[in-house]
Amino acid sequence: MADFVLIPGMCHGGWCFDALAEQLRQHGHRVHALTLTGLSERADQLTSTVNLDTHIQDVVDVLVTEQIEDAVLVGHSYGGMVVSGVADRVPERVDSLVYLDAVVPDDGDSCWSLVPDEREWYLDVGETGYAVPSLPFFDPRATAHPLASLLQRIRLTGDAGRFRRREYVYATLWDGRSPFASTYQRLREDPTWTVHALESRHNLMRDVPDDLVKILLQSLEEPARPAGRQERIGSDEAEGSRP
C-alpha cells in the first residue's frame, strides 16, 4: 500500500484529484489530496504573506502528522514547485516524485522565471495587489492564487536523483506551444527520468484519469528505472491549452 500525496496547480484545491484519488483508493492505496493555504475552501487564509514556503510547509506538516515515510508526491502544474521543495526538505519521507504537466525547478528557479508567458496573468492582481485571479474557464470552485508563491525562488540543496523514481507526464493538447515543451524535451533525454506523453489538455486529472492511474500503479511495481527508458501514451505533439 502506497501513500499518494496529491498537490494541485494554481487556483485549484484537492477536489481536482477526485476521480484519480477514488481509483487509487479502489486499488488499496492511501490518498491525501491537499488544498494549499489560501486556496479554494481555504481561501479565507489568503494574505500577502502566503508564499511557496507556506505551501511546502503545508505538505511537510501532512507527512509528519500522518507519519508518512514513503510518500509518492504528485504535483500538477504549479504543484511541481511544491513537490520539489518538499522532497528537498524531508527526503527521508519521500519515495518518488511524479510531475503532471508541471514545472520542474532547479535551485533558484520560480514560476515567474520558468513560465514567462504567464507573467501578464500573474500580475493581474486587482485591488489586493497579491491575489492572482482564477481564469474564466477554470472549475467554479477555483479561487485566486497567492502571487508571492509564484515570485519566490525555490531553494534546493539535495540531489533530486536520490529518489526511487522520478516521472514526468506531459499533456500534448495545448492551443499553441506548451509552456512545458522544453521541460518535456529535456527530461525525455535524461536517463534518470521516466517520461510519458498523454493526448490530453493541461488538466490531466479531469481528462485522462484512467491513464494517470495506470502510470502511477506501474511506477509502484518497478523498483528500478532502466537507463533511458521512456513510456508514451498518445501523441508526442506539443500542443494544448490551460485547464
Residue 243 maps to a domain: no
User: Residue 161's domain is classified under what CATH number?
Assistant: 3.40.50.1820
Q: How many domains does the chain have?
A: 1
Closest to 133 in 3D by CA, of 122, 141, 118, 119: 122
Residue 228 maps to a domain: no
Active site residue 77: yes
Give the number of C-alpha atoms closer than 13 A to the C-alpha of residue 217, restricted to the C-beta side.
15
pLDDT at 224: 46
pLDDT at 160: 86
Residue 226 maps to a domain: no
Specify the residue for cell string 491537499: 34
**Residue of 40, 77, 134, 178 with catalytic role:** 77
Residue 108 maps to a domain: yes
Residue 44 maps to a domain: yes
Q: What is the pLDDT along the chain (243 residues), one digit of tens a residue?
A: 999 999 999 999 999 999 999 999 999 999 999 999 999 999 999 999 999 999 999 999 999 999 999 999 999 999 999 999 999 999 999 999 999 999 999 999 999 999 999 999 999 999 999 999 999 999 999 999 999 999 999 999 999 889 999 999 999 999 999 999 999 999 999 999 999 999 999 999 999 999 999 999 999 986 544 444 455 555 443 333 444
User: Helices marked H in 123-243 — which ranges?
Assistant: 147-151, 181-188, 204-207, 209-221
- In angstroms, rounded to a whole number, what is the distance separating the alpha carbons of residues 198 and 212? 9
Residue 241 maps to a domain: no
- In angstroms, rounded to a whole number, what is the distance separating the alpha carbons of residues 46 and 48? 7
Predicted structure pTM score: 0.92
Residue 12 maps to a domain: yes
Domain extent at residue 163: 3-221
pLDDT at 237: 39
- In angstroms, rounded to a whole number, what is the distance separating the alpha carbons of residues 122 and 12? 15
pLDDT at 139: 96
Residue 235 maps to a domain: no
